[in-house]
Structure 1
């Protein structure tokens, strides 16, 4: 969490400022945006856009705040507030060691939730509480008061209890290990579900690429996620991650959204590996480190929320509704108070020289949440979209009513961006409703424009809301296919039937384009001639006898294996991780019949933020993301060369998927 009037050292706001848009800046020559409605991504949940409430906030649950949350389309509100969750006792509304504001008890919170039309997410006290206390809270909430609280977290950031060195989270348990947390989480889940079997219980996980992910502490059987998912994974219903990316400039902080797809995917892969199931992911705290109250914060929020929803995160909860000022600077020409809140707390800096605007004045990220909730609502499906200019981020949403919305984020603080849009799988009417939030604005404006072109003001958010040129009946949308029998060269997709008499087209996503692999009237399809060690994303589209096509199914993603047999085999191991670097071991075995007098192993990092800093027992070189390891001695048949390196990373540390030895694809063990 981020506490009131406090900023963790890694997130201290620096004085660096973005350039104020200069008068008469030349417009960009043009940007092409491609939207492919056939390349379906994930569907938006009814808790997608959320925010955190905290019991030290004197305005928690007030009608004015609830109405502001409703006005922004906030669908989820989390309580009782970050690390306070692990000292809070709901029945007597106390938090020993912390400040509790008047009129912030659970019933006041729920009154605000109901007025806002949102859904509650409640964090039960793990640090200083008990399973029985949590079960009593469920009984009060859902049996006595009939509030219908569905989502319950067990504690907050418990990996910060001192087990890995840093201690900010209260934890009175004699053991602070992930095994102890997971074991007691099972007790919480059992006690709480005995009261209301319909609730969903979540366990705290670390975010891949963020401390202490990857670290194995003394005496532990694995990393925090490995241990927690192995023990508690089978009984919990979702995993909880938090994300506070760093950055001291606009470009640096805004670029961090490129980490999202990898850390969400890796969290899911960990759940599959250790809990043996597909575990839904909730990101219940997120904020930025630069321009928290100004346009960089708004641009980050819109891009991050949309990207997280595209990747299937079912709730994204901004920290916080109110928080308080910590420093002052001018960013992109606007006053910024380094305040994690969506709304002004009307606070002043310690010396009293600078004060915030009136209480509950919305900051820029508030308007970003409002834009996001209008762009993609519950039941809408995100689809693939991309821009030719890296400073323009684009997201698209196919609406339940047949419309299409395109969210465009211009990250250039100086230049307007004229955009030409191209649509695949959707034919829009000529006109569109245009929503715009510009730098320094006090709200979102609405105008009418065209569906094919739009000019994005500098440092702005723009959403085009489109209607189809012609509406026709279409077959039912197919369900998500399932990939099975995946080898290095083939995979079989299966699915449940939808409308009778339709053909199912099988499409592979390639960026914003799709390629059709084939079609069938059945409910399975086997694809051949795949590339080993490659991740594939596939959708189904149903087509009836009149040629009408359905919406795209949600995607199925699978990764082909490496060859089961080859003349070489490679084992890649992270042997000692410290959170942003590690010692890696690479064992290379000659499984062929010919001695290799000289040999070179080659692989490619999955991301741009992974790096070899040094190596041994071979000559290590890296160019871009490509790595080569040149042997220093011959490799006889059956022999293994043991080499290693020190690696560094600044985001999710995904291992490479394929290795070649002298150009031959190896088996990865």
Structure 2
């Protein structure tokens, strides 16, 4: 979490560290009972989103929490299924000395040193993710920590972050993170990451090292400091990409109220996709092996009440489905802050923890120490949906206030988690399936109700219909009809090569466990799957693809009886624009500030005939992008489609690239803002380049 040391010192009085995110979200309006009595949920078990990592369900722990290693804490975290613990605690990572368990300028509780923390991690079966002190530490100090942890003690600590929120060191004007280096630029940080990684891996080459980035659409993404030619992410990736194994991002979306916050998990898909694009573009040849860790997350709204629990359940699964290998909630205990009332009438203590510290603000006191808050039960519900190694599969709903996630469990059961974000209305949920036929048995349903003090379970409803109460989370566990699935293993993770405007080659590892009749390459299309190719081998050539279009594919194997294997992990790629066209466009982002950006567009006629009057069109890839204002053209937007038409003085484009016209616009964004994959001029898809 990110605040100045003065705020951190307030922890002595059990006040919380709080962070501020800058993205915003449109407010969701609760449906009336008459208008929205039902919701349709569709699950496609043939659309795979990868398996749940053993590190997936993570949590932050902090050295100011004197109960962090108590038997009570260990029991609660073990019961919740927490698989990763982050230490020593947010911004404390940049002032913490692991050797003497001190954090100059901050408070460290007794009983919280590294060995004691590792005792808790081992007791609950969680892996640690450790913050090497960048702000006031050195590469040698970090390397000594690695040596002590993995050579001396044999802990096998695999994941190491280099600093916490280093972009908050004041370089961009807002400073909460300690950074004692003479230069606080992203270049300096990246250069030092190389030194940290080298020193740490010299001690234990098996560790993985992570560098700090910012999530697209969140400050200071896109911001250029004076004298810089690139923003934080591009600079760090370009310099340190050769040495890192993962990147670290944090997410505090700061919705204006509960209903806005509950709509924000949907932003993660676009933001993480854009982050992956940045890694691919800037990190060099090792880009495909660099993973993403979401090491801090909280809604910043109604933190100890049901809205934050609903946010947590939805956001955890969204981030994991979109490729994060860990999602680490902020925080285990944090202490009360500002007192308020949640939409369901519950008292919110402003405590970002999942377990009560039992302290007070004035005359208002939290529940007794160690009482779980609703967010604790939200994390506990994740293990009812799926455990490490289980397959996440496609799920969708037709209601804005109802979200769904699905997992095909190792025993063949299918679990569907439904989140009702409506504080007033129950929904009758109609369940639909593709790639899975449930048995007629009455499902087992796990429920966490509004402000509940436990997760309940019962056999209720049917595989086709369930009723979910307001502000609640339900997980429906269904058994399959017998002999439904192939014994073949899922094909290996696909890779894509030879990508062109209209084609690509996809390859994958062979399925095992029996004889394969054929492989099917299927496009994820919502929760429908579209067959793109079949192959008797382990590769296929895709043809007739659409230029400038993003595709996500799974591969499935078919056995001799016609049964399908589980789907492979997904692979995503974007077709190029045509190598040869009668027009050319350069699309150039010139500035950004997290919630908006400026794009300059240059267009040319490269065909044999001149153009007198032109219309340029493209589509915003993200629903969170809107057109603000523009210049040198008549600009308009309809849905996600943008159009710019020529003015009288710039309507002429000479043949064969004889001249060009420069136009541009200001865009607004809530969350992701990827550049359009294709731009057309007078209906023709142009050869498009993207410069920075």
Does the alignment reach a TM-score above 0.5? yes
Aligned to 1:295: 306
**Partner SS state of residue 278, structure 2:** helix
Counterpart residue number, 1:101: 109
- Structure 1, residues 403-432: CA drift from partner, whole Å, max 9, x if none? 211110111111111112111111122222
**TM-aligned CA deviation for residue 387 of structure 1:** 1.2
Asked if structure 1 preserves the Cα contact closer than 8 Å seen for 2:16 and 2:352, the reply is: no
Q: Which residue of 2 is the match for residue 477 of structure 1?
A: 490
What is the deviation of 1:546?
2.0
Matched position secondary structure for 2:609 = coil
- The 1-side partners of 2:519 and 2:236 are apart by 40
CA shift, 1:501, in A, is: 3.4
Alignment partner of 1:237 is 2:251: no
Residue 436 (structure 2) aligns with: 426
Task: Find the residue that maps to 2:506 and give its secondary structure.
Answer: strand
Q: 1:447 matched to which residue of 2?
A: 458
2:447 to 436, 442, 454: 436
Cα distance in structure 2, aligned partners of 1:11 and 1:263: 14
Mapped partners of 1:153, 1:56: distance in 2? 20
CA RMSD across the alignment: 2.0
Aligned residue for 2:5?
A: none
Cross-structure match for 1:384: 394
Q: Give deviations 1:294-337, integer Å, cap 9, x for gaps.
A: 11101100000010110110000000001111122221121111
Of 364, 369, 372, the match for 1:362: 372
Alignment of 1:297-336 (within 5 A): 297-331=308-342, 332-336=344-348
1:658 and 2:672 are equivalent in the alignment: no
Map of 2:557 onto structure 1: 542
Compute the TM-score of the two structures, normalised by the length of structure 2.
Answer: 0.93
- Give unmatched runs, 5+ long, in structure 2: 3-7
2:357 pairs with 1:353: no
Q: What is the CA deviation profile of residues 541-565 of structure 1, one whole-angstrom value per residue up to 9, with x for unaligned ones?
A: 1111122221011111111111112
SS at match of 1:428: coil
TM-score scaled by structure 1?
0.96
Aligned partners of 2:631 and 2:664 also within 8 Å: yes
1:252 aligns to 2:299 (yes or no)? no
1:611 aligns with 2:626: yes
**2:500 paired residue among 481, 484, 487:** 487
Give the direction of change, closer, same or farther, for the CA distance of 1:20–1:602 in structure 2 (3 Å limit).
Answer: closer
Do 1:299 and 1:411's aligned partners in 2 also have CA atoms closer than 8 Å? yes
| Partner Cα separation in structure 2 for residue 26 and residue 649 of structure 1 | 33
Residues 164-313 of structure 1 mapped to structure 2, 5 A cutoff: 164-276=172-284, 277-278=287-288, 279-313=290-324
User: Which stretch shows the higher mean deviation, 245-254 or 25-34?
Assistant: 25-34
Question: What CA distance in whole angstroms lies between the structure 1 residues aligned with 2:325 and 2:297?
Answer: 14
In the TM superposition, what whole-angstrom CA distance separates every residue of 1:359-406 from its partner, at most 9, and x where no partner exists? Answer: 111111111100012212111111111112221101101112222111
- Provide the secondary structure at the position in 1 that maps to 2:115: helix
Aligned to 2:217, what secondary structure does the other structure show? coil
Aligned to 1:667: 687
Deviation at 1:528, TM superposition (A): 0.8
* Equivalence for 1:402: 412
SS in 2 for 1:314: strand
Structure 2 partner of 1:147: 155
Judging changes above 3 Å, is the alpha-carbon distance between structure 1 residues 378 and 620 closer, same or farther for their aligned structure 2 residues? same
1:9 and 1:558 map into 2 onto residues whose CA distance is 34
Contact 2:294 2:324 in 1 (8 A): yes
Alignment partners' CA distance in 2, 1:153 and 1:451: 44
Equivalent position of 1:640 in the other structure: 660
Structure 2 counterpart of 1:518, from 515, 519, 533? 533
Tell me how far 1:579 sits from its aligned partner: 2.8
Q: 1:18 to 1:32 in 2, by over 3 A?
A: closer
Q: Is the 2:533–2:541 Cα contact (8 Å) retained in structure 1? A: no
* C-alpha deviation, 1:593, in angstroms: 2.2
Structure 1 residue 271, shift from structure 2 partner: 1.5
Question: Which of the numbers 479, 487, 497 marks the counterpart of 1:467?
Answer: 479
Corresponding pairs, count: 662
Structure-2 separation of matches of 1:424 and 1:610: 32
Q: Determine if the alignment matches structure 1 residue 342 to structure 2 residue 351.
A: no
Q: CA deviation at 1:7?
A: 5.8
Q: 2:20 touches 2:252 (CA, 8 Å); kept in 1?
A: no
Displacement after TM superposition at 1:9 (Å): 7.7
1:501 is aligned to 515
Q: What's the CA shift string for 1:507-538, capped at 9, x where partnerless?
A: 11110011112322111111111111111111
The CA deviation string for residues 109-135 of structure 1, in whole angstroms up to 9 with x for no partner, is 111112222111110101100111111
Q: Within 2, Cα distance between the matches of 1:215 and 1:590?
A: 33
Q: Does 1:594 align with 2:621?
A: no
Who is 1:60 aligned against?
68
- Tell me if structure 1 keeps the 8 A contact 2:21–2:218: no
Which runs of no fewer than 5 residues in structure 1 stay unpaired? Answer: none
Taking the aligned partners of 1:18 and 1:513, their CA distance within structure 2 comes to 26
